[in-house]
Amino acid sequence: MANTSTNRKPLFGNNRSHALNITKKKQSLNKQKVTVNGKTIVTTVREAKKLKNKK
């Protein structure tokens, strides 16, 4: 089982049509499984890049 390692939350906003109708939208995070030091964690790609560059 992979551990989840992130404190980030999804972004929320509105879709606006040409008729100015408003509908809620949610932009979720780009989570992926990454192996670091033999352990598999689920983290965002942005944080995975930071972990990769620390080596």
SS3 (DSSP) at 46: helix
Q: What is the pLDDT of residue 1?
A: 60
Q: What is the pLDDT of residue 10?
A: 92
CB atoms within 10 A of CB 5: 16
Going from N- to C-terminal start, the domains of the chain cover 3-54
Q: What is the pLDDT of residue 52?
A: 83
Q: What is the pLDDT of residue 7?
A: 84
Segment 1-49, tens digit of pLDDT: 667 777 889 999 999 999 999 999 999 999 999 988 888 999 999 888 8
CA–CA distance, 21 with 17 (Å, rounded to integer): 5
CB atoms within 10 A of CB 29: 15
CA–CA distance, 26 with 45 (Å, rounded to integer): 18
Q: What is the pLDDT of residue 38?
A: 87
